[in-house]
Chain A
Amino acid sequence: MSWLARFFRSKKPEVVLSPEQRERLERWQQLPDPDLNHSHFQTRYVVVDVESSGLNMVKDRLISIGAVAVVNGLIDTQDAFEVILKQEVVSDTANILLHGIGGSAQREGMEPADALLLFLEYIGKCPLVAYHAMFDHSMIARAMEKYLGIEFEQQWLDLAWIMPELFQDRIDTNVALDAWLNLFGIENIQRHNAVSDCYATAKLLQVAMARAAERGAECPERMMEIERVRRWLRRSN
């Protein structure tokens, strides 16, 4: 271990996991990576949305994770996930009003390490999907590092980039999720509820998958390429 690593490590307290938690974590780590060259319609995507105490990716805390899977092209409500992480400090009232997870619910949430393990077990190594994935990824990765001591490096697909690339004829710029939901008439059951947002985003993913497949991008790998190309083009312009 290099001195640099030792330096960083020393800054953070050692994560202590119970043997059972360690075992669960290892079991997840040993899962094989998914083959991203299978068709969308033979792939399990997990659409993820988080609620946090605020929008600051460095300071704010992860409060809950919601997820809905799209398996072989279909949304199965039986394959959905939600967990609230136990908070030591309850978020402020304005924040509570936004996502509706009240103070007591926050305090009675699951121990963060267990909650995150449950999440890992739910997603497996499946490709993750989000709208503005950067935020969800940062919040989750920071919590993973803090409570499980791991670097979370799951593959993400960001519909905020993919949608305008696939539907340039409709909206050719990065917009808020609601713009796409309105365009495709997708109803959001309960805005800013993690599961509800996931459900709406999952439907958007179905739309994206159909369009991508139509354009010859028939697997997750190709879909990720679409995102990379879009990001690169926008950056270089």
Chain B
Amino acid sequence: MSTNATQMLVSATMEFLRRHSPFDRMEGDALRFLAERLKLAYYHKDAAILTPDMGAARTFYIIQRGKVVARQAGEVNVTEYNVMTLGPGECFPIGAVTAQRASTNGYTAIEDVFCYQLAADDFFELMRMSSVFNLFCTQYIASLLNQSRQQLQVQFAQRAAEQQSLNTPLSLLAKREPVSVQPETPLRQVLEAMGQQRLGSMIVTDAEGKPVGIFTQSDVLHRVVLAGVALEEPIGKVMSKDPHTLQDTVYAYDAALAMAMHGIRHVLVVDGEGRLKGVISERDLFTLQRVGLRQIRQSVETAPDLETLLQTSHDVRQLALNMLAQGVGAEQVTQFISALNDTITRRVLELNLDKHDLYGVDWAWLSFGSEGREEQTFSTDQDNGIIYLCPDFMDKEQLKMRLLDFARDVNDDLDKCGFPLCSGNIMAGNPDLCLTLEEWEEKFTNWVRHPHPAALLNATIFFDFRTLYGNPSLGERLRKWMLSLTTSNPGFLKMMAHNALDVEPPLGKIRDFVTDLDPEHPGTIDLKKYGARLFVDIARIYALAAGIHNSNTVQRLRHSAKRLGISGEEMAAIIDSFNFIQLLRLRHQHLETEAGQAGDNRIHPDKLNELDRRILKESFRQVRKLQSRIKMDYQV
């Protein structure tokens, strides 16, 4: 209205802004632009300035006077603060305005507050005008990314610490319902029960439930078989009397001590009245401690039976959790899970080789899919096959039968060890996947030469193969064959590219994310289907095009970068994005399977905290970038 009056007030505003970062460094015209558009509001003490339920943030605030407290809303804290106080010159909510979404923090005046307001449109204009302001906002968001990672570690460390603590009372550890018999029970009945329920030991209690003895597997040999005791005799005659008991109020530490001192493997947990509450084994305590890679490897490699292996696969999960807790990245964790799963698989193979004689046969065990790429998360089913050579002097049908028998046993045993059978029957026990080198070559050739939809789908699974056991040169020969096919068939790669572009990252035009792609699970995003897979598919195409031998997505991307002329930094951002999505999957699966649900890949973006949502959004943007790149390269 009156220019003089306005000029005076605008100058005063500019003077105020110049006293605070980043406005002190801001370009003159940008500062004036800002000062001219600010409106001043007042909030009394305890007034809510901005809350998450106010919807998408349309206003950017700069505090002129007074203090504002920012509190994280929701149960997940990921920024390094729960509560943060903001003073004059500080602004909020940078992330929410930038992303045009509701703030996840609640902002409340804790004294009388005068606050400048800037409309979102002017905010964006300012970001365009001022490189200083732009940098300020981007750096702020980038710093949140770091905070998120650190916080993630803290979160996992806490969880790991809870699980590992030797300060856990035995009452919490002895979860399993103890199996017990009374002293007059005949031995035969006891042994049958132990066999059926796979018990290492049986506890003997009196009529009141107080333990009076224990009978273990190793007692069978010495006290029953060698001593020639009839199976009709009562258990009370052969049991070890007065077993070691501990009250359930003592700690895991005491149990460990008792075991060490008395050289025993089991401690019976009793309540205040001396009644049996449970059994703690050495293994229960072992998992409490930081499970080391070497220990696990060693225990896998020497595991005498499946039961031990099954236990070890639990340890793998625990160790992976520890690694997450220690801040190890998704790439290393998934590779590590794969490595240990490899070790378990190898041991299963070895145990089965004892039963199946494959001496003199040139063969190898292949793994496909995520296992082949060394990108296994916690919930992974089996994807495997066999490759072999059939010398002229052998009967091929007979050899194949032998291999199939062996493979089926391995498949079943792997299932028992926590690798569920593949619903798509991608398993070595499937005659179609137990093939000679020539047959595999023919199969691959067919898929490349005739890329119909099923062939392309197969390529996405089988072209990511890895030799896990047996003669590695068979796998290498197959790989050379495969790469010679793909590098000379751009038409096939173009079809692959077409397929890879079928699915777009679920970035919304209005909302942050598209969450209604799966009508059965509204509000969720399948991070495998709409996240990780997008990266994997493109990495595969570039690897197959350039003849890169790796099957791992990150390595494929790294090796492709140079050939594609993508700068190291740019590629690092893409790889970071892929790893972040993998990390979210790991975390999601871990948190869910612990709660007893099946581990899946469907996350609720609304349940993520602000930071993770923002990083996830950025990750999807990165894959979109990658997609437009391949679109350009293959003209699809």
Contacts and interface: CB of A to CB of B under 8 A. Distances in A.
Interface of A: 66-68, 73-83, 122, 184-187, 189-190, 193, 195-196, 199, 203, 206-207, 209-211, 214
A187 to B, nearest CB: 8
Interface stretch (B8-16, B341-349, B445-453, B628-636): B8-16
Minimum-distance CB pairs A-B, first 3: A206-B42, A80-B5, A82-B5
B23 interface: no
Interface in B6-29: 6, 8-10, 12-13
A130 to B, nearest CB: 16
Interface stretch (B32-40, B489-497, B568-576): B32-40
Contact of B41 (A187, A189, A195, A206): A206
Interface in B111-132: 112, 114, 117
- Count chain A CB atoms within 10 A of each CB in B35, B44, B66 and give the residue with the most: B44
Contact of A74 (B1, B4, B40, B66): B40
B6 A77 contact: yes
B73 interface: no
Contacts of B117: 74
A168 to B, nearest CB: 16
B1 A80 contact: yes
B43 A78 contact: no
Contact of A77 (B38, B43, B44, B112): B38
A68 B114 contact: no
Given A77-B6, A81-B5, A196-B12, 17 more contacts: A67-B5, A73-B41, A74-B41, A77-B35, A80-B5, A80-B9, A184-B112, A185-B65, A189-B12, A195-B4, A195-B5, A203-B40, A206-B42, A206-B114, A207-B42, A210-B42, A211-B44
Contacts, number: 79
Nearest to A202: B40
A67 B13 CA distance: 17
Contact of A196 (B8, B10, B42, B43): B8
A195 B41 CA distance: 18
Interface bracket on B: 20 to 34
B224 interface: no
Given A81-B5, A122-B1, A210 B36 contact: no
Nearest to A121: B1
A76 B36 CA distance: 9
A214 B109 CA distance: 15
A82 B5 CA distance: 5
A203 B64 CA distance: 12
Contacts of B65: 185-187
A203 B42 contact: yes
B2 interface: yes
A75 B5 CA distance: 13
A82 B43 CA distance: 27
B47 interface: yes
B2 A77 contact: no
Contacts of B35: 77
A122 B43 contact: no
21 contacts: A73-B42, A74-B39, A74-B117, A75-B41, A77-B35, A77-B36, A79-B1, A80-B2, A80-B6, A82-B4, A122-B1, A122-B2, A184-B112, A186-B65, A187-B65, A189-B12, A203-B40, A203-B114, A206-B41, A210-B43, A210-B44
B2 A82 contact: yes
Contacts of B1: 78-81, 122
B485 to A, nearest CB: 68
A74 B43 CA distance: 11
Contacts of A76: 39
A129 to B, nearest CB: 14
B6 A78 contact: yes
A190 B5 CA distance: 12
Given A83-B2, A122-B1, A210 B47 contact: yes
Contacts of A75: 39-41
Contacts of A199: 9, 12
Contacts of A207: 42, 44, 112
Nearest to B112: A184
B2 A214 contact: no
Interface string B65-90: 11000000000000000000000000
Contacts of B13: 77
Contacts of A206: 40-42, 114
Nearest to A206: B42
| Most A C-beta atoms less than 10 A away, residue of B5, B8, B117 | B5
A75 B41 CA distance: 7
A73 B49 CA distance: 13
